Structure 1
Amino acid sequence: MKKARMATNDKDNPDANCLPMGITQFHMQPQPRKIVQTQELIVILYEANYGVRYIYTDGRSLPPQGQPTPWWYGYSVGRWEGDTLLVETNNLRGVESGPFDGWLDVRGSPYSEQARFIERFHRPVFGKLEIDVTVDDPKFYAKPFTVRINQRFMADEEPMEFICNENQQFRRRIKID
């Protein structure tokens, strides 16, 4: 599936079509994000395409697969383990949902609606955020794997307004049959 996506010059990449990206893809994007934490909820606001992600920290469990209907960013629950935020996510829109869904990264590595993600957010020093993302998707991968994403943490910065469709030039740059 990844080769097929690459063969079409990634024309169905959700980011290139102003749609929400896969979990590892949006963690790798350079645009800023703001993290808002309350007692029962963490909200991540992404500058890119106004993405909003909810992580419930009120002690609830993940719902069964397929309930609720899969979301772009999935259904996430989190808890603190010392100074590390552990987030479990399921119910993502996988490749079964359509051509713009189930993109793990910018090159089109797939994930299915069976996928489960575990993220560990850790700030080892001020100014640095480490995110370890474990992907568990038996439909596409023989065993779970983990990638580390390093980000700069800038506490006093604010995201800007970013409306993807205002700058959408992707379709002009490539030939689409």
Structure 2
Amino acid sequence: MLTWTRRLFLTGVILSLLVTNLLTLTSVAFNAALSGVISTAAGVQTVADVMSQRLTGKDKVIKQQKSAAVKRTAAVRKFGTRLSVRTKRVATRSVAAIPAEAIPYLGIAALIGGTAYELYEACQSIKDLDELYGELGLDEAASEGAIAAACNPQLPNPTAVWESVKGNTDTWLESAAEQG
């Protein structure tokens, strides 16, 4: 009887070890529960504990990356929306200004006003681009030359421009008189 009891006990131990091995390899929940029992009872850090801590750390990094991606997407959308609205507005006003620019003398004022408006909108676009760079965390900034050209354009000397126009007109009149 003692032999049977011992055989039955050893068979039960071997079967339970086989079952726990199989469950440990195939069931995440059983593996976690068994690791928790072993680490609590023996005070040993198990592989499952280490992996859980690593995954928790990776989860934090992944959440931070997703948050940064959402912010970048929002910044790009905001810039794109502003740029498309501004471009439509400038194009509409440019087309609408064509008849006014055809009027003698007043057309010059309309042309200057339209150009000033387009420069203002170009300056706003560059400022929005600079803001986008900042929101994306890029070290680059909008080109100082581009900002200066759009936001603070250097106007030519009007006297020099007028002398150039007069010189070209005189040359054109002389060539027209020679041909005619």
Give your verdict on TM over 0.5: no
Q: Which has the larger radius of gyration?
A: 2
TM-score using structure 1 length: 0.20
Instruction: Indicate the structure with greater helix content.
Output: 2
Q: TM-score, normalised by structure 2?
A: 0.20
Task: For CA contacts below 8 A with separation 6 or more, give which structure has more relative contact order.
Answer: 1
